[in-house]
Structures are given as C-alpha cells and as structure tokens.
C-alpha cells in the first residue's frame, strides 16, 4: 500500500526514500487547527494595525502624514495580510482535501481487499482437496492455465 493511514496519535508523518508516506490524520488535523488559530490571530493583528494607523494619523493632525499612513496601510500592509490569509486558507483547504482523498482511497482499497479475499476463500471451498495442485486449471472455454 502506498499510504499507511493511522487513526491514533504518534510520531510526526515522515517520508521514506522509497516514496512511502505515513499519513496520520490526527497529527495533520492538529497542525491545521494550529495554523487556523494563528491565521485568526493575524486577522486580529491586521485590525489592530489599521486602528493604530488611524490613531497616529489623527494624533499627527497633518494631512500629509494621514495620507502616507493611509496609503501604507491600504496598499502595503493590508494587501499583504489579505494575500497571506487567502493563501493560508487555500492551503488548509487543499491539505484537508488531500487527507480526505487518501482516507477515502484507503477505505476503498481495504474494502476491495476484503471482498477479493472473501471471494478467493469461497472459490477455494469449491476446489477438490484430492486434486493435483500442479494440474492445469480451466480458465474458460478451451483455455487452460498451467
């Protein structure tokens, strides 16, 4: 199996040299929650920054200072913060989607393996226990497998 899914907490996910990855949903969920909390803190800091710039402009009582602070706040700080926040939200969504896809694929593979195993066990029940295991077997009309 390319991806091993673990439902319990454990060591952080790692990648081996052969390309196998351990995906631990609880660890990834914890990291995503932490990033989301930090993102909310960044949004709060952006509002505080906006208020502080307005207060400084008001205290200076000079329109050139107010204009410069407004431009700095609007075009540099707020724009950068909005871009960062949008990228963080996009990354959180993308990582969550990937983990959900991996979990879904893992469940589908497990279900298929269980079904195939049950079918193989059922087919073996019909085998003649006294038959030669090396004898050719019928694979279809006129087809024999050696």
Binned average pLDDT, 10 residues per bin, the chain of 146 residues: 45 54 77 84 81 87 86 81 86 87 85 83 69 72 67
Residues 4 and 24: beta-carbon distance below 8 Å: no
First to last CA, the chain: 29
Residues 96 and 32: beta-carbon distance below 8 Å: yes
d(CA 82, CA 114): 48
Residue 138 has a pLDDT of: 67
Residue 19 has a pLDDT of: 61
Residue 17 has a pLDDT of: 53
Residue 35 has a pLDDT of: 86
């Amino acid at each position: 199996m390319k991806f091993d899914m673990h439902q319990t907490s454990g060591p952080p996910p790692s990648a081996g040299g052969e390309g196998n990855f351990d995906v631990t949903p609880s660890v990834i969920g914890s990291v995503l929650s932490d990033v989301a909390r930090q993102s909310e803190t960044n949004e709060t800091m952006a509002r505080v920054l906006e208020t502080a710039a307005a207060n400084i402009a008001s205290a200076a009582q000079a329109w050139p200072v107010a204009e410069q602070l407004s431009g700095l706040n609007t075009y540099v700080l707020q724009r950068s913060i909005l871009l960062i926040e949008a990228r963080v939200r996009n990354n959180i969504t993308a990582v969550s989607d990937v983990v959900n896809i991996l979990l879904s694929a893992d469940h589908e593979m497990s279900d298929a393996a269980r079904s195939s195993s049950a079918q193989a066990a059922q087919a073996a029940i019909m085998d003649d226990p006294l038959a030669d295991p090396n004898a050719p077997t019928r694979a279809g009309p006129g087809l024999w497998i050696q």
